[in-house]
Amino acid sequence: MAYNDKFQPSALPKEFGALKKLKYLWMTEANLIGEIPESFKNLSSLELLDLSVNKLEGTIPGGMLTLKTLNYLHLFINRLSGHIPSSIEALNLKQIDLSDNHLTGSIPAGFGKLQNLTGLNLFWNQLSGEIPANISLIPTLETFKNKLSGELPQHLCARGALLGVVASNNNLSGEVPTSLENCTSLLTIQFSNNRFSGGIPSGIWTSPDMVSVMLDGNSFSGTLPSKLARNLSRVEIANNKFYVELTSLWNITVLLLDENQFSGELPSQIISWKLLNKLNLSRNKLSGLIPKALGSLTSLSYLDLSENQFSGQIPPKLGHLNLIILHLSSNQLSGMVPIEFQHEAYEDSFLNNPKLCVNVPTLNLPRCDAKPVNSDKLSTKYLVMILIFALAGAFVSLSKVHIYHRKNHSQDHTAWKFTPYHKLDLDEYNILSSLTENNLIGCGGSGKVYRIANNRSGELLAVKMICNNRRLDQKLQKQFETEVEILSTMGHANIVKLLCCISNETSSLLVYEYMEKQSLDRWLHGKKQRTSSMTSSVHNFVLDWPTRCEVHNILLDAEFNAKIADFGLAETLVKQGEPNTMSGIAGSYGYIAPEYAYTTKVNKKIDVYSFGVVLLELVTGREPNNGDEHMCLAE
């Protein structure tokens, strides 16, 4: 009866307790409620009881752990409370999983009598007290996310068959038992976020089958060996007091060593780190150059070297990596930031490195070609001349601006019509007065796009300006009315929001929310800017009418939530009663449905096809237009 969540919520019948010959009762995810009947202690032939993933409440019946024939007891992911029964006589038990409940009290010492027990899962409860010393023979012990205190049992791995100890997020203290020094069966050690101290037995690092060591958030100290177990793939030892010199990490994928006491330089030869995906060495005392060899770690997507003492240039080869997260702030780096990182996606990656520079003004760093002026060598004469010319220029500019605003504010501003689609705190005049060349971020055949800061809330806005003329008046008017009509009614969380409309006889403005992290293709393919200060994704979003779902049309907000621009407008762009076709190419090469090339018909299927291409692109990491006319999409 397992996995029948469409059952009506119901309690376990107490009559089940009369089934003396019942061997297996498997009711995982069966919408059970209420308590486990006390009569279940009479199931004298029961071998497996699995009531996991339900909404059972109350306590575990006292006689449940006295059933002589019981081998497997699975009660995880329920709402059980109270103490674990202390009377334990079910000596044939092989697995006990009571995790993810609300159990309290201590761990019964009687578990130590279960010689056949291979796994004891008690995590995500509210158990307290010490871990009984006599359960050290159990091969797998998982007690994380409780309130346990005291020290670990001193004879863990006494049988030489211990596979792992998972005791993170408790209040345990003391040192790691020396019995783990020669425990060659270990696969994982997880002691994160406790109060452990002292050193780590060296055998843990070199155990031949060790896969993961997670010790972050303690007060461990000592030195790690230069070579670790060849199968070790995950090391998390942040927030400790380790010293380390690592050169051989053959299968490591995650290495979190932040906030320790590492000093000196990183090794220049790190070829063995080739599988590394995540490296965090922040908040240490590392110095010297950033190794060029890091640029050869093709799997690396997360790199944090911030708050150290690294100096010299950033290796250009780092720009060839697909780094989703990069933190090099608060070091002593100098020279030019690799061109691949010179865009707003990495605006917080290089803070507090005053000697770094860029070639394009997208990061808050000085330009590399700027020549510093030595003010000490300027005479008083030249300073006076500069001041006079500056004041004169400012006076002339202010006069022109004053005349311009008087003229335009009196003639044009009164004619603007403001139409909000949401509750807004906007200054209409602030938007109109900010339509300057300095705020221009894109141009197209039908108008311009500006990035403007709301002077009241401080948030950034994207403003699309459509200017009518006699030749394009009818076409653009239709485009404008259709876009406003559709986008103003869309309330979907994953569609870019149209905030308001401002229009007069000659111009129409559409005000959108600004997508801070810009387009998906920047993060997926590392695309560079195609306009002066912003990706063409915003340009496409607010200037063109694509009937497409493409990575540069999928925009990301500050928290990397995806929102699509202009998706779903394919059929609505054409008025009812007109031919359902378009004269222009609706989409980019690689995203266009094959049938569109010869039918030019616009419908939902075109967008579905494009969406499928995007999914392939996300899975493979390859662009759909990398190839020629003979290349198959599946290739």
* Secondary structure (3-state) at 187: coil
Distance between CA atoms of residues 318 and 300, nearest Å: 10
Model pLDDT, residue 19:
92
Strands 188-190 and 95-97: unpaired
Does 496 map to a domain? Answer: yes
DSSP E strands, 160-258: 164-166, 171-174, 188-190, 195-198, 212-214, 219-223, 234-236, 241-243, 254-256
Model pLDDT, residue 475:
58
Question: 325-344, pLDDT tens digit by residue?
Answer: 999 999 999 999 998 898 88
Does 497 map to a domain? Answer: yes
Q: What is the CATH number of the domain that holds 521?
A: 1.10.510.10
Residues of the chain with pLDDT under 50: 373, 375-384, 386-387, 390-414, 470-472, 528-547, 567-585
283 near 307, Cβ under 8 Å?
A: yes
Model pLDDT, residue 551:
74
Does 126 map to a domain? Answer: no
Does 472 map to a domain? Answer: yes
555 near 496, Cβ under 8 Å?
A: yes
Does 548 map to a domain? Answer: yes
**Of 313, 447, 435, nearest in space to 368 by CA:** 313
Question: 139-151, pLDDT tens digit by residue?
Answer: 888 888 899 999 9
Percentages helix, strand, coil for the chain, rounded to the nearest 5? Answer: 25, 25, 55
Structure tokens at 575: 């008025």
Strands 254-256 and 447-453: unpaired
Count CB neighbours of 497 within 10 A: 16
3-state SS string over 68-96?
Answer: CCCCEEECCCCCCEEECCCCCCCCCCCEE
56 near 80, Cβ under 8 Å?
A: yes
93 near 69, Cβ under 8 Å?
A: no
- Count of domains observed in the chain: 1
Is 464 known as a binding-site position? yes
Structure tokens at 423: 């509750």
Sheet (strand 55-57) strand order: 10-11, 32-35, 55-57
Model pLDDT, residue 139:
85
- Report CA torsion sign: 613, 619, 621, 622: negative
What CA–CA distances, in Å, run from 476 to 501, 506, 582?
15, 11, 15
Model pLDDT, residue 399:
47
Does 123 map to a domain? Answer: no
Model pLDDT, residue 602:
64
Length of the chain: 635
CA dihedral 567, 568, 573, 575 (to 10 degrees): -170
Does 459 map to a domain? Answer: yes
* Residue 492: domain span: 414-580
Question: 258-303, pLDDT tens digit by residue?
Answer: 998 888 888 877 766 788 899 999 999 999 999 998 988 888 999 9
Give 516's DSSP letter. Answer: T
Does 607 map to a domain? Answer: no
Sheet (strand 562-564) strand order: 518-519, 554-556, 562-564
